Structure formats: structure tokens, C-alpha cells
Amino acid sequence: MEQLGFNLVVIRDVRGKIVFARAYDRQTRERAAVPAEFLGELFSRQQMEPVAVMPQDGIAAFPDGPYIVSTRPILTSQRGGESRGVFMLARKFDAAEIERLSNLTRTTITFERMDSALLSDDFLRAQRELRGGTDIAIEALSEDKVAGYIALEDSFRTPLLLMRVDTPRPIYARGKLSQLYLFGTALGGAVIFSLAIIFFLQKFILSRIGGLSSEIHSIGKRNAVDERVNVSGQDLDSTPGAMYGIYFEANCTFCNPAALRLLGYDDAEEILGKKIHGRIHHTRADGSICPQEECPVFCSMRTGKDAHLIEESFWRKNGDSFPGEYSSRRLRRNGEVVGAVVTFVDTTDRKHQEIEVRHSQKLEAVGRLAAGIAREINTPIQFVGDNTRFLVNSFPHELKLMGKYEEVLQAATGGSASATLLEEVLATRRDADWPYLKEEIPRAMEQMLEGLGRVFQRSCVG
């Protein structure tokens, strides 16, 4: 038995008597006591009856711990006929066996009894999750290790052991390193980009706005409201954004070509030195009059706060209006507000795009809803189809078995049933795996009815 690696060999005849039993302790290399009382209780179960036993391999809980058990019916040399008894081999599932499995799989494997009162916290969490219907429970033990848990059933389909397999997390470690590299790259890029923005903002915008402030202050001191701000064509004239300037009395001091194009004017002389509010911002979007005193641009010069509005209406020379977004920045000289620079854009295209985006989002939401309903219906339909195929495949075996039973019935009605006919019935029963079909066919029909009910329910909801 030492060479074979077994701890227990048992032979039991059809009358239930153990005719041979030998136990061996592989650690001490000596014969051990046979657990006769436990074997009697084990063989008393229906699954272990000599006439019903099928080849089985699994785990069983012995008094001194779990064993790997293999049972076979004792048949003739042709592996046929009725069972003459049961032959059982068992190997103790001890620490040496667990270590051998760990070495074979190159992982760390740990086993605990399912009903143990000394389970660690991670085993307790996995036990609750597995009892809740989960096949496999997974938990991260640390940043370097992850564990998977599974419940192992004994030969009688009763949960016996909790198995935990620990493996390293190299992908997680590489992901954290990549995340660190990405964060560093993004941070470096943001710093460089911010410095570049500050440099170009100072060089091309702030310095020019400072020059505009000086010009407007000069105009205000000389009270030359009809004078145009002296700026070069490479400055405001080449700026793509629409922009105009006003003095404190609301007279326009400059207007770049982009603003003239948006407002429909051919020449800046048409609005320079004139009150610009009454030409481009006199009416709100709802048709109500917007007095100059209520205009956010002029209010900002009085309150000392810059203005920024997202939705406003601007009016062209020909009387048409367009939606716009504008910002007003006050110009100061010696701490006093002397005017303002207003930049604005036409938001017509942006509003159209926002409407298209909202429309596409609605269509996408409808598509997701339709796909979800289709999945909810397709899954029960597939479930019903699988169980239907199972019933179709098992039906020929049932017909064959029923035919044999009819032959036995006819023979018994005639006076006697031969032993050969009874052996044929038993063989047909084994081929059909009748205990399995008897248990699974009602379950399949119940699941089919449940699936059809779910399909009907989803169809009504849809």
C-alpha cells in the first residue's frame, strides 16, 4: 500500500458485509486501525448500496480528516452483470498531499473545513459569498497577492472544504507603475503647457490690452470722443475674435474687422465715436427693450466687476439678430475705470451642435433601452432552448427503458420473468442513467416554465 500511495482499501459484498479492510499510515509506515464503525455508517447510505453504486470519485470526511475516495462496483471480467459488491480505495488528504498539489500547480493552496469554527476573516467572507450562490469568490489579499475561493463537495454533494488559491498580481503592479508614469507625464505636460499659455497670453494679448488702456485713457483726458484708437493693423485688425472698445460715456473707441463683419458694417467710421449700445444691444432675445443703464457691460464699469454672459442677443446693421456670448474687461488708469474692452462670438453654430448632440443622446438612450430589453428576452429564450434540447436528447433513453419495463410486465403476466430479461432491464437503466434523469427532467421542465414566464413578462413590459 505504501508503493500504491493508499491509506485504506475496503471490499464489501452484496450483503453489506466488509470482507476485506486494510488501513495504512503513510507517515509512520505502519498498519493502522480500520475505522469499522465509520465504514458501516458510510456504506449504509443509499448512494453506496452495492446494487445502486456507480463509479464515484470524490472526497469524504473521515474521523481523522478528509480522504480522497474512489469506489467501483465489483463486476465480472467482462465488466457486465449485476454488482457483486463494492471496492473502495482511499488516500488521506493531508498536508503532504496539499503541498504536492501546490508544487504541481506552482501556486499556494490552502484548505479549510466548511463547518470549521476557526475560519479566518477572508475565509468567512468567501464562505458567505459561496453560500449565496456564487461559484467562485475572489478577494485581493494585498497589493501583491490575490486569492480565489471555491467550495468542494464530498461524494454525497455536501459542501465539505473551502479551497483558497493564492497567486501574485503582476498585472496590477505594472498597471500602478503605468499609472504613475502617466500621471508624471500629464503633470509635466500641464506645467509646460501652462507656461506656454502664460507666455503667449502676456506677449500677444495682455500687452496689447495694456496699450489699448493707455490709448483710451489718453482719449478720455483730451475729451476727444470722436478720435479712433491708434492701433497697428498687426494687432487688433489681425485678431480673429470680434472685439470693440468703449469709453466711460459709452462711445465706441475702436472696432476690429471681425466685429465689423459680425455686425454687418462696412467701415468702422460708421460706429466710431457713437454710442454703440443703441446699435448692437438695444433689444433682448425675448423682444423686450434693454436700456443702456441695465446693460451688463456698463454695469460692470460702475460696479467694478468684469462681465461674462453666455446667452445674449446682438443686432446687425440690417436689423437681424444673432445669439452671442461675450466678455467685458474693464480698463483702468491710476486705479480708476476709464472704459472697457468687449469680446464676443456668434454662437449660432454651437447651439445647432448642442441640439444635435442632445438628439443623438436621446437616440443612444433609446438604443440602449432596446438592447437591454432584447437581452432580457434572449437570455430566457436560450435557457428554454437548452432545456428543450436536453429533454429531446433524453427522451429516446426513456422510451427504451419503458419498452424494457413493458417486456418485464408482459413476462410477469405470463407467469415468470427470466433473469436475462431482468439483466437487460438493469443494463438499460444504467445506460439511460435513470437516477440522473429522474432528478433533472422535472427541474428542466420547471426552468422552462420559469423562462417562458420571464419572456412573457418582459414582452408585456416592453
Q: What is the average pLDDT across 53-59?
A: 76
101 confidence band (pLDDT: 50, 70, 90): confident
Cα-Cα-Cα-Cα dihedral sign, residues 446, 451, 454, 456: negative
Question: Percent of the chain, pLDDT > 90?
Answer: 6
For 181-190, how does the pLDDT look when each residue is reduced to its tens digit (9 = 90+)? 998 999 999 9
Which single residue is written with the C-alpha cell 460706429? 271
In this predicted structure, which of 146-155, 223-232, 369-378 has the lowest mean pLDDT?
Answer: 223-232
Answer yes or no: are the C-beta atoms of 188 and 177 closer than 8 Å.
no
The helix/strand/coil state of 180 is helix
Q: What is the average pLDDT across 26-38?
A: 86
The reported pLDDT for the residue numbered 386 is 74
CA distance 141 to 126: 12
The reported pLDDT for the residue numbered 445 is 80
CA distance 101 to 123: 20
248 confidence band (pLDDT: 50, 70, 90): confident
In this predicted structure, which of 36-40, 73-77, 100-104, 347-351 has the lowest mean pLDDT?
Answer: 73-77
Strands (E), 203-335: 242-247, 252-255, 307-315, 321-333
In this structure, what is the dihedral angle of CA atoms 62, 63, 66, 67, given to the nearest 10 degrees?
-40
The reported pLDDT for the residue numbered 149 is 93
The reported pLDDT for the residue numbered 233 is 45
CA distance 85 to 107: 40
> pTM above the 0.85 mark?
no
CB neighbours of 51 closer than 8 A, spacing ≥ 6?
Answer: 14, 82, 83
- Name the helix (H) or strand (E) containing 351: helix 348-414
**Alpha helical stretches, state H, 243-333:** 257-263, 277-280, 296-303
